[in-house]
Every structure is written in C-alpha cells, then in structure tokens.
Amino acid sequence: MVAVRCCRGFRFRFLLFFFFSFSPYLSLSLSEEEALLKLKKSFTNTNALSNWVGSSPCKWAGVVCTDGIVSGLHLGKMGLSGTIDIDALKQLKGLRTLSFVDDNFSGKIPDFQLLGALKSLLLTNNDFSGEIPKDYFSKMSSLKKVYLAGNKFTGKIPESLTQLKNLMELHLENNQFSGAIPDFKQKGITQLDMSNNKLEGAIPDDMSKYNAKSFAGNGQLCGAPLQPCKDKATPPSPSPSPSPSQESSTPETPTTPPPVTRKRSRTPSR
C-alpha cells in the first residue's frame, strides 16, 4: 500500500515538473471570443471594432459565422494598421476567408501560410512590401482567391501559386513584381491580373488565352496576347580560316613572269 502511494506521488510530481518545464512551449487553446480579442490587441486604430465586446462574436463587426462558428473575417475599409496576430487567427479553426482590403497594414507579408485551410486571402490596397518566398503558398492548397494587388511587393511571383489546384481568382496588379512569369496551368482560373508590374520575358503559352489587359503595363513582356517577341538578331559567323594542314596540302599555282620588253639601244649619231 505504501509502495502504491509512493508511486502515485512520484507520478504526480513528475507531471508537475513536466507541465511547469514545458508550459512556455505549449499552445493553450482559446475560445473564438478570446482569439478575436487577442487579434484586436495587435491592431492600431480599432475604432471600427468598438462593438467587439460581449460573448457573441458572430454579432461583431466584420465577423462572419457559419453554423455558429467563425468562418470569415471581413475587416476591409476599417482603417486598421499595426500587426496581425497569426497565433490568434490559428485558434479560429473554421476560418476560411480573411479580408483586409483597403486598410493600412505595412511591412512584409505576415505568416498567413500557417492558415492552411484558408480559401480566400484578400490583401488588396495596403502597404505590404518586400519579396514573398517562392514556397509561401505551398501548404495552402485550399486557396481559391488570392488578392495581393495595390501593394509594394517585389521580387519574382512566387512559384508556389502555380501549385494551387483550386485557384480561381488571382490579382497581382499594381505591385513591383519582376522577372519572368511562372507557368500557370490551372484551368479553373477565371480572373487573372498581373498588370502594372516590372515583369519581363515571354508570356507562357498556357497563359495566352487571357486578355491583354491582364499583362498591360509591363514594358518588357512579350508574346500572346501582347506583341510578338522579337528574336535577337544573330550576327553572321565569320568564314573559317584554313588550317595549316589545309594550307600545306594545297599546291601553289606557279606564277608566270610578265614578258620582258627589251628596249633598243639608240644608235649613236655619227
């Protein structure tokens, strides 16, 4: 009996030690209300979210619910800025749509790639900048709508966008993307806009079906549906000079000396 008590006591102390040792690394689950209030704290200028109080987040401004579960945050045109707490968003297990259209966020793109169940990511007309890693969207296979227009993104268009099999709408216009366009072969894309960037090179053949307006404002782009690409003129190659062996094997044609015209000597006068 004593041995059993000692064993239980040891097990209890071990669990306490484990909890307090590793608790900083454990992610505590939050309710949707707690997660949204945590998200709000990461924003500045939150006047538009003044009704985020009480225990019914489905009635809060910009919050969309499906069957009582938060499925969308439509927080556009609210003048929001600051940071975006991704850890808080991760607590919203039913979140499928995230919109910050026409707000005032800046800096590099947040870690939205950690929200793998998103179907719509709408960031149009903010002040995000910098390059987006090429594999950024590789774990966001559910995405159908990606709106990154009207920011200051630079670098190449992330190749991982071409891996989104469900992609239907892609807006990258009015940024500073550069380099060649990756080949988008998705057949379900109904809206595509890459205008007014710094893209260059030939438009992939699979993308020639889109309207020319989708690529306008990229001075170095060519190919259908824009103007044909100009082939670089190839300079004529110089004729090869004969090798020494060829020179020695070619017999020389003897040259005939011109006939010598002998002048008559003048007869001395007598």
Burial category of 215 from C-beta neighbours within 10 Å (exposed 0-12, middle 13-18, buried 19 and up):
buried
Separation CA 161–CA 138 (nearest Å):
7
Residue 249 predicted with pLDDT over 70? no
Domains and CATH numbers, the chain: 24-51+58-104 (3.80.10.10), 106-227 (3.80.10.10)
Mean pLDDT taken over the chain: 85
Q: What pLDDT was estimated at residue 11?
A: 59
Q: CA of 115: how far to CAs of 19, 98, 105, 120, 222, in Å?
A: 27, 10, 19, 11, 36
Q: pLDDT tens digits for 121-145?
A: 999 999 999 999 999 999 999 999 9
Q: What pLDDT was estimated at residue 146?
A: 98
Least confident of 42-51, 154-163, 221-230, 250-259: 250-259
pTM, 2 dp: 0.77
Q: What pLDDT was estimated at residue 231?
A: 75
Percentage of the chain surpassing pLDDT 90? 73
Separation CA 126–CA 124 (nearest Å):
6
Q: What share of the chain is helix, strand, coil (3-state, %, to 5)?
A: 25, 20, 55
- The answer to whether 202 and 179 have CB atoms below 8 angstroms apart is no
Least confident of 69-83, 161-175, 225-239: 225-239
Residue 49 predicted with pLDDT over 90? yes
Q: How confident is the model at residue 42 (pLDDT cuts 50, 70, 90)?
A: very high
Quick one: how far is CA 250 from the chain centroid? 64
- The answer to whether 125 and 150 have CB atoms below 8 angstroms apart is yes
- The answer to whether 140 and 166 have CB atoms below 8 angstroms apart is no
Percentage of the chain surpassing pLDDT 70? 75
The sign of the torsion formed by the CA atoms of 159, 160, 163, 164 equals negative
Separation CA 220–CA 42 (nearest Å):
41
